[in-house]
Amino acid sequence: MRSPTIHHKRRLTEGMETDDNWVKEGRYDSEFVAAVQKEIEALRNLPPNWDGYGAPVIDPRFIDAAKRFIASLPDNLAFRPLVVPTSNGSLQLEWHEGPRSLELEFESPRTFRFLQWHPEEGIEEEDTIAVEDTERAVDLINWFTRGACR
Amino acid sequence: MSEAGASVSEGPTGPPVGDDEDLYRCISPAWWVADERRVSSAAFSYPVFSVDVASLAGSPQATLSRFRPGSGIASFLCRAARQEGCEVHLEVDAEYPENQAHAHVYMPKPNSKRKTTARKLANVCRVLIPPKPAE
């Protein structure tokens, strides 16, 4: 599930050399929202006991909340996260590279539990935040992408 | 194999599993990150989850035979779970009472480090049989 990425500044206009002609460093992915929402939507197809340990189907409220959350993110923020179902009928979004990772697990349609993980830097933080707190979520994703080099 | 059936409030009731025992955990294809050949922490991120004690199960294949085709098996040492504050107890699986190898892993309480602990278990586990995602 690799997404197209651009790791360097991208020129917008040939022949113009001012800084204004460059976009902020980021990960240009015009399909980000549609692609991630498709991955989330696919979780509706998981049957009961999909994990072999008696998991229920993924709660549609979590699916809808995750899709809304993805749509709320600014453009070009990060490469596509992995979408992973959890045995309690929820899902989590994972960004992972080397020792650094970020997980956002929906605890309810209104909150997620995040894990910031980079043991080499002594970072093992987890907490609960509101799904609507996009600013905090963006901070977390920016923390991840600052160290990621895809 | 129902994790919902394991009551956190009741706590462990069976005998503790020895530190040197290997534990088998079935890995759904949905938890397998094939590109990176790693298991998602979601495989371990529950207040209580089920495992088989390897020495009682006999083989990874024996454990795997109870699960859906395409599932895999990961293994980790009981000591590794205990070092993260987990308790591991040999307890009957209400849905498969004939499985004498069944144990529950109880995550540490309070639950404020559940994801951290799950991430550590995902890091230390060895994948013995990789899941096979559907084509």
Q: Which one of A39, A84, A105 would you mutate to disrupt binding with B, by most B Cβ within 10 Å of its Cβ?
A: A84
Question: Residue B42 and residue A50: Cβ atoms within 8 Å?
Answer: no
- CA of B18 to nearest chain A CA: how many angstroms apart? 23
Which residues of chain B have a Cβ shorter than 8 Å from any chain A Cβ? 1-5, 26, 28, 30-31, 33, 35-36, 38, 40-42, 45-46, 49-50, 66-68, 71, 95, 112-116, 119
Report chain B's mean pLDDT, rounded to a whole number: 91
User: Model confidence at A3, in pLDDT bands (50, 70, 90)?
Assistant: very low
ipTM for the whole complex: 0.89
pLDDT of residue B77: 98
Is A88 in the B-facing interface, judged by CB distances under 8 Å?
Answer: yes
pLDDT of residue A34: 96
Reported for A54-57, long-range contacts at CB under 8 A and 24+ positions apart, including other chains, are A54/A87, A54/B1, A54/B2, A54/B3, A54/B4, A54/B5, A54/B95, A55/A85, A55/A86, A55/A87, A55/A88, A55/A89, A55/B3, A56/A88, A56/A89, A56/B4, A57/A89
User: Model confidence at B109, in pLDDT bands (50, 70, 90)?
Assistant: confident
pLDDT digit string, tens, across residues A10-56: 333 333 344 444 444 556 788 999 999 999 999 999 999 999 999 99
Whole-angstrom distance, CA of residue B8 vs CA of residue B108: 11
Q: For B28-57, what is the mean pLDDT?
A: 95
Count of CB atoms situated within 10 Å of the CB of A14: 6
Name chain B contacts of A86, Cβ cutoff 8 Å. 42, 45
pLDDT digit string, tens, across residues A103-143: 999 999 999 999 999 999 999 999 999 999 999 999 999 99
Give the dihedral sign, CA A38/A80/B130/B45. negative
Flag the least confident range among A19-23, B99-103, B118-122.
Answer: A19-23
Segment (H or E) for B98: none
Q: Is the pLDDT of residue B134 over 80?
A: no
- CA of B28 to nearest chain A CA: how many angstroms apart? 5
Q: Is the pLDDT of residue B4 over 50?
A: no
CA dihedral A73, A75, A78, A80 (to 10 degrees): 80
pLDDT of residue A111: 97
Question: Per the omega criterion (within 30 degrees of 0), is the bond before A99 cis?
Answer: no
Is A51 in the B-facing interface, judged by CB distances under 8 Å?
Answer: yes
Q: Is the pLDDT of residue B5 over 80?
A: no
Whole-angstrom distance, CA of residue A81 vs CA of residue A103: 9
pLDDT of residue A10: 32
pLDDT of residue A150: 53
Percentage of chain B surpassing pLDDT 70?
Answer: 92
